[in-house]
Amino acid sequence: MLSLANTKPSSMKNFMLLPIVCCIFSMTINAQNSNDMFPTKVQSLDSTLFTLYDVISGEKGEERNWELFTYLFHPEARLIPTGKNEEGLHIARFLTPEGYIDRSGKWLVENGFFEKEINRIVHTFGNITQVFSTYESYRSEADESPFMRGINSIQLMNDGERWWIINIYWMQESEENPIPIDFLPPN
């Protein structure tokens, strides 16, 4: 074992800093490697949105790729489901991607869930994009009719290297609020 008894204070300080520097270097390399795992998934608006729908979809018992899911989102991103609470008041819940996984991940696997985009309206200004993405939800890919429909309001940013999902704010269709014809696929 290495003895520090005869080590000068300045060299001892350098010796003590070595593990910290190595740890930071290792974390940086690992962060770069994890950031390089899915670059094609976020190179275009289309690939980012396709990956978003694809990564949450799967048959009953099929695990989701949560590492890819979180990769799509900016570190400060939020997922915001909205609807009526038990008292009939409209509310919004604010979740991080990890909060969404904690809240919905098990349910998606236990029940099977496919969300499919059926129409998209896109507005872009500079490096920001707003997408109104109309979806249908199914329990299985084999289902003929959706059990639910709604609209995802998705805000994205392109930083010049990739697309980041900033927010997804969504609402399910109801009898009270049917999806407007402008948000449905053209006939």
Q: What is the pLDDT of residues 156-172, one digit of tens each?
A: 999 999 999 999 999 99
pLDDT of 100: 98
Do 64 and 58 form a contact (C-beta atoms < 8 A)?
yes
Hey, where are the domains in the chain? Answer: 9-40, 43-183
Q: Which residue has the tokens 């329990």?
A: 139
13: confidence class by pLDDT, cuts 50, 70, 90? low
Whole-angstrom Cα distance, residue 91 to residue 110?
A: 26
61 vs 32, residue with greater confidence: 61
Q: Could you report the per-residue pLDDT of 88-118, keeping only the tens digit for each?
A: 999 999 999 999 999 999 999 999 999 999 9
Q: Could you report the per-residue pLDDT of 125-152, keeping only the tens digit for each?
A: 999 999 999 999 999 999 999 999 999 9
pLDDT of 35: 54
Q: How many beta carbons lie within 10 A of that of residue 142, not counting itself?
A: 9
The end-to-end CA distance of the chain, in Å, is: 77
DSSP per-residue string spanning 138-160 = ESSTT-SS-SEEEEEEEEEEE-S
Mean of pLDDT values over 168-183? 97
Structure tokens at 1: 């074992």
Q: What is the pTM of this model?
A: 0.80
Structure tokens at 52: 């978003």
What is the CATH code of the structural domain delimited by 43-183? 3.10.450.50
- Which residues does residue 150 pair with via DSSP β-bridges, in sequence order? 135, 172
pLDDT of 30: 42
Q: Is the pLDDT of residue 17 over 70?
A: no
Long-range (24+ apart) CB contacts under 8 A made by 141-144 are 141/57, 141/59, 141/114, 143/114
Secondary structure class of 170 (helix, strand, coil): strand
6 vs 86, residue with greater confidence: 86
